[in-house]
Copies of this chain bind each other. A is one copy, B any other.
Amino acid sequence: MTRLLLTIQYVGTAYHGWQVQPNGVTVQERLQDAIEKVTGVRSGVIGCSRTDAGVHAKMFCCTLDTEYPLQGEKMAKALNAHLPKDIAVYKVREVAPDFHPRYQAVGKTYTYCIWNGKHRNPFYEDRALFISKTLDEGVMDKAAKGFCGTHDYKAFCSAGSDVEDTVRTVSECSVKREGDLVTVTVTANGFLYNMVRILVGTLLDIEAGRLPSDAIKQALDTTKRQDLGATAPPMGLYLEKVYY
């Protein structure tokens, strides 16, 4: 038995997130379908995280235990021939038999894209949040800096999560504009449920003056979810990188 680390990309629009679930098609299910077609065996894969419905991944890692002899480029090609158009494997490599894609990840980067033109852009439909009112990305970037450091991020965790330790270290949090595209980038050693989407909703509220400029700092102190903004919708969110 060999443990393979598969690195994949997907446009999440058509999926109910990564993880297999009773109602709705998921990325994990489609990947397991393709693996079965290639290897002839139904095998489970373990992911580096869960992504929600509509969230995208430019880099997502998962492991597969298989006795099938194909590896590397050839295995990636074989799987891609059986995957739907919106999912693709771009790297396959062998890892140690005890390698775990979630526990061994030392960090991840997420980005959140906002199409900030006057009118909606068909090329960013389902791939960015559309906001027509011009955003001051400088104000957002300044507020984002308050998100960095080692803190208890409990306030930035949606209900329904059973995680006990909510302390994380955020090493990068910035907001940049390129033309009409505003991108929020967050790198941390780990993320709580909806952490980036609550951050983005909060940054938008701070920019609009609906929340005070130090709302993030305050919520890190109070650890209260209600001190923050709404959870931003999923279509702007991308799992950008996983670090091992």
Give the residue of B80, B121, B125 whose beta carbon is less than 8 angstroms from that of A120.
B80
A76 at the interface (CB under 8 A from B): yes
Interface residues of A in 79-96 (CB under 8 A from B): 80, 85-90
**Chain A residues numbered 111-128 whose CB sits less than 8 Å from any CB in chain B:** 117-123, 125-127
Interface size of A in residues (CB-CB distance below 8 Å)? 25
Give 1 or 0 for each of A101-144: 1 = CB within 8 Å of chain B CB. Answer: 00000000000000001111111011100000000000000000
Tell me whether A119 and B76 are in contact (CB under 8 A): yes
CA distance A123 to B56 in the complex (A): 10
A241 at the interface (CB under 8 A from B): no
In the assembled complex, which residues on chain B have CB atoms less than 8 Å from the CB atom of A126?
A: 85
- Tell me the smallest distance from the CB of A222 to a CB of chain B, in Å: 39
CA gap between A11 and B120 in the complex, in Å: 13
